[in-house]
Structure 1
Amino acid sequence: MKSCVVFRPNPPKLFMLNLNAWLIFELCDGGTSYEIEQRYRQKVEGQMSESEARRHLVIGLKNLHERGLIEFEEGLNE
């Protein structure tokens, strides 16, 4: 499976997430931004540099938040 469909109930809308967005979405389970970042780094270790991983994570979190799929603390900055 290469993508994930997520339903936002209010207002109703379906979103197709790519693998990276899906991973970030799964990691958003109530942990702090620091915990999410640490788990994300562990998952992508060896596939990208730490700075690149951080950039992908920040962009992914912002995109998910803008679509109303997650709520997060404003702890991560590019």
Structure 2
Amino acid sequence: MLRIVEPYIAWGYPNLKSVNELIYKRSYGKINKKRIALTDNSLIARSLGKYRIICMEDLIHEIYTVGKRFKKANNFLWPFKLSSP
């Protein structure tokens, strides 16, 4: 069954490089209930600064390592919109 759907799905744990590329290329944040592209660290600092997440690298680290503030960081990110293969 997995062989049939293999070209269309991915499974396993993501590596740091893939998390980094995904967040840098396709990340949007929930700011005032709006979908805002994360083009500037000040957007992250204003929304997550109180949790000591002040830049894109802090956000990536928190998501990748599933740190103490993972839930806040994950809720801040808008769901990714991926294109079909």
TM-score band w.r.t. shorter chain: under 0.3
Structure with greater Cα Rg? 2
* Higher percent of residues as helix: 2
* Higher percent of residues as strand: 1
Give the TM-score normalised by structure 1. 0.26
Give the TM-score normalised by structure 2. 0.25
